Structure 1
Amino acid sequence: MKLKKLHIIAPYPKGEAPSQRFRFEQYLTFWEEHDFEIHYHSFHTAKSWKRLYKKGLFFQKFLDLNYNFLRRWILLFRLIGAKHIFMHREMAHLGPPVFEWILVKILRRKYVYDFDDAIWIPNYSSANARFQKLKCYWKVPTLIKWASKVSAGNDFLAKYALQFHSQVEVIPTTIDCQNQHTQLVDHQKKPLIIGWTGTHSTMHYLDFVVPILRKLEKEFDFQFKVISNKKPNYQLNALVYQDWKEETEIEDLAKIQIGIMPLVLDAWSEGKCGFKALQYMALGMAPIVSPVGVNTKIIQHETNGFIAETPEEWEKALRILLENETLRKELGEKALLTIQQKWSVEVWKSNYLKLFH
C-alpha cells in the first residue's frame, strides 16, 4: 500500500516544546500506523532554537532567522501537490502570513490548523516588547479562515475560531499514560514536596501563592520545588529550584506530591489547556488549580483535586493536603482515573485521524 504523505508544519524542532509534544507529536506513531508518512518541517532548526534565548549572539541570531526563512521558501516547493498538511500555529514566527498566502492562494493547498493558546492576544515580557509588532497577532483569524479544518485545544479557543470557520473541532491536550506518564507519586516520602513546573514567562503566576507558602512553611516541613528554565527570586526557605530537562521531566515531576497551577482570570489564561494539571494528575497527585478556563472542566473540587480562588481557599487546600496522607493518595488515584478515562491519548487518538477524512 502506498503511504500518504503528511506534512507537519510547526514553529519548533521536534521534542522541544510542550505545545507540540503534547498536542500532536505523541500521535505521530499512530498516524504512521494508519499509512501516513510523516514529513516534519519546523521553522527553527535545533541549533537556532538553542541559540534563540541565549544572551547576545545577535549576528548569529540574524543569520539563523534569514536561514530559517529561506528554508520556508524552499518548503513551499515541496508542498506543491501536497494533500495532507497539518499546521501548528503558523509557518513563521515573524511577519504577516506570506507563506500561508502562497500556500493557499497560489499553490491551492489546504491545511488543518491547530492551536492551543489564545495566540491572537499579545502576550510577551517587557524584554521582548520591541519585537512584538513583528509577530503580527492579527494574522490568526486569517490562518483560521484559510484552513480546511481547525483543531482547537479547548472550548474557549473553539468559540473564537468559530467566528471565522464552520469546521472547528475541540481536541484537548492529552497525556500518554502508556508510554510516557507511567510513574506514580510516593505519598509517604518525606519531606513533602509542593511543586510547580513551567517556563520563566509564566512564573509570575506564582507571585500570588508565595505569601501563603511563606506562612505555611512556619508550621509544616515541606519543600517548594520550581522546575523551570530560570531560577526564581522568591524569599522562601522551602524553595528548591531544578532545571527542566526533557529526558528527566516525568521522573522529576513524580517526586512532587502536591502540584499547583495558579492563574489569573484573563483572556490569555482562558485559552490555556490545563496542561500542568493534567501532568500532575497522570502521576497520581491531586492538583490545586485556579478556576480559570478548562481547569473547571478537568477538576471536580475535592474529588480529584481542589479549585481555589482566594488566598483563604488556597491556604485551606494546601493545609488539607499537607496534613492528610490518606486523602492525598485517594484523590491522586481518582485524578489518575480521570486522565485515563477522559484526557488520555488512547481516548482521543481517533479524533486526530478524523482530521484528514
Structure 2
Amino acid sequence: MNRLARRRLLVLCPFPVGRAAGQRLKYEPYFNDWVAQGWDITVSCFMPPDLWEVVYQPGHLWDKLRGVMTGYRRRWRDLLRLWQYDCVYLFMWGTPFGPPVYERLVRWLARGLVYDLEDNIFVGQTAMASASPNRIVRLIKGPGKARYLARVADAVIVASPHMVDPTRALNRNGAVTCIPPSLDTDRICPADPPPLRDRVVIGWTGTFSSRPYLDMLADVLRQLAARVPFTLRVIGNFDYDLPGVDLDVVQWSAAREAEDLQSLDIGVYPLPDDEWTRGKAGLKIIQYQAAGLACVASDVPLSREQIREGETGFLVRNDAEWLDRLERLVRDADLRRAMGAAGRRDAVAQYSQGVIAPAYRAVLDQAAG
C-alpha cells in the first residue's frame, strides 16, 4: 500500500503491552495484521511497567502514586496529538478515576472512536472489586466511564454475546460487535506426545479476583479426593490452600502458559449465574479447549454456547453433578481424550486468531469511516 494512503491509529489502554490478559488475548495480537491492512499504530498505556509490577500488591503506596501521576501526564500529552490520528482505539477507560471528563475530551477530539470493553463493567464489577487487596484497583472499576463511552463511540466491541443487546441499547448508532477472546492455537495446543502421568491433574487458571469462583468447588474437590486419586493444579497469581486435596499451586507465567495448560488433564470453570458473570467471555473454556482438555463448567448461558454437552465437556448445575462428572472423567481416560480432541477442533474453528482477525478489520474500517 502507498505510504500516503496509510491511516494512523492511536491505541489508549490501561496496561503495558503484553501483560494483562484482557489486552493480550483480545486486540494486541492483531497489531501486525492492522499494519498489513494499512494502519500505522501508536500505543499509549496509562500504567508504566513499574506501576504494573506493584498495582495488584498491598502496600507500595509511593510507587503507585508516582505511577498514577506518570499515567495522567501521559494521557494529557495524548490529548495534544489526537488530531494527528484517523481513529482512536480505547480499551476500558482513558483515565481510571472520577467522572468521564477525559473520555469526553477524547470523544470531542477524535475523528473516529472504537471502544473495546471487557466483561460486564456496567454493573460496576462489585464482586471483583471486593476481592482486590488494594483500594486503587477497587476505585478503577467504576462503571460511569464505560456507559459514556459505550454511548458515544462510533463502534463498540464486546467479548460476550450476552453483552450485545444491552450495549446496543446504549450506543447511539447501535454499532456493537461481539469479538470473543482469541488464541494462537499453534502455541496453545495439546502436548505431543501426551505425557504419561501417575495421577490425573484437574486444573483451574485465573487471578486473585476470580478466586471466589474456585472456592465454590472446595467441598466437591474434598469429596472427590476421598473417592479417586487426583492432583488439583491452580495456575494463578496468588497462594492457595485446600486441606484434604493433593494441591499444586503454579504461579502464572506468559513464558510457561502453554506448557502449564498441557500439564492438565481436565479443566474446570465454576461460575455463579448472575449479571456480572453473564458478561464474561469464557476465556478459561477457550484455553482449556485449545489445549485439548476435557472441560467441566457451570451450566450458565455462555458455557452453553462454548461447550457441547457430553461431546466437548460437561455442564453442571449443582455439587452432586460436579462430583459425578469429575469422577467420571478422572476414571475414564478415553472419555477425557475424546472430549479434549473435540474441544480442540471447536477452539481452532471458532477462536483462532485467523478466524477472528476479519472482525477487527471491519470494526476499524467502520469507525474510521
The AA in structure 2 aligned to 1:115 is L
Shift in Å, 1:8: 1.2
Looking at structure 1, the residues matched to 203 and 67 of structure 2 have their Cα atoms a distance apart, in angstroms, of: 36
Looking at structure 2, the residues matched to 158 and 45 of structure 1 have their Cα atoms a distance apart, in angstroms, of: 32
Trace 1:5-44 onto structure 2 (pairs within 5 A): 5-44=8-47
- Contact kept in structure 1, 2:55 and 2:137, CA below 8 Å: no
Which of 145, 151, 162 is matched with 1:156 structurally?
Answer: 162
- Contact kept in structure 1, 2:223 and 2:323, CA below 8 Å: no
Residue 188 of structure 2 corresponds to: 181
Looking at structure 2, the residues matched to 128 and 267 of structure 1 have their Cα atoms a distance apart, in angstroms, of: 24
State the secondary structure of the residue aligned to 1:80: helix
- Contact kept in structure 1, 2:57 and 2:134, CA below 8 Å: no
Residue 335 of structure 2 corresponds to: 327
Looking at structure 1, the residues matched to 251 and 40 of structure 2 have their Cα atoms a distance apart, in angstroms, of: 35
CA 1:32–1:131 in structure 2 vs 1: closer, same or farther (change >3 Å)?
closer
Residue 299 of structure 1 corresponds to: 307
Looking at structure 2, the residues matched to 49 and 67 of structure 1 have their Cα atoms a distance apart, in angstroms, of: 12
Residue 147 of structure 2 corresponds to: 141
TM superposition score normalised by structure 1: 0.95
State the secondary structure of the residue aligned to 2:90: strand
Trace 1:344-355 onto structure 2 (pairs within 5 A): 344-355=352-363
- Contact kept in structure 2, 1:116 and 1:157, CA below 8 Å: no
- Contact kept in structure 2, 1:27 and 1:349, CA below 8 Å: yes
- Contact kept in structure 1, 2:120 and 2:276, CA below 8 Å: yes
**Structure 1 runs of 4+ with >6 Å offset:** none
Residue 122 of structure 2 corresponds to: 120
State the secondary structure of the residue aligned to 2:249: strand
Trace 1:1-357 onto structure 2 (pairs within 5 A): 1-2=2-3, 3-105=6-108, 107-122=109-124, 123=126, 124-125=129-130, 127-128=133-134, 132=138, 135-165=141-171, 166-178=174-186, 180-184=187-191, 186=194, 188-357=196-365
Aligned residues: 355
Alpha-carbon RMSD across the aligned residues, in angstroms, is 1.7
State the secondary structure of the residue aligned to 1:7: strand
Looking at structure 1, the residues matched to 190 and 294 of structure 2 have their Cα atoms a distance apart, in angstroms, of: 15
Aligned residues with identical type, % of pairs: 28
Gaps of 5+ in 2: none
Shift in Å, 1:88: 1.0
Looking at structure 1, the residues matched to 140 and 234 of structure 2 have their Cα atoms a distance apart, in angstroms, of: 32
Q: Deviations over 1:75-129 (max 9, x none)?
A: 1112123112111111112222222211222x25331111121112222126446
CA 1:338–1:51 in structure 2 vs 1: closer, same or farther (change >3 Å)?
same
Gaps of 5+ in 1: none
The AA in structure 2 aligned to 1:34 is Q
The AA in structure 2 aligned to 1:321 is L
Shift in Å, 1:293: 3.3
Greater mean deviation of Cα atoms: 34-43 or 13-22: 34-43
The AA in structure 1 aligned to 2:265 is Q
Shift in Å, 1:136: 3.8
Looking at structure 1, the residues matched to 54 and 240 of structure 2 have their Cα atoms a distance apart, in angstroms, of: 22
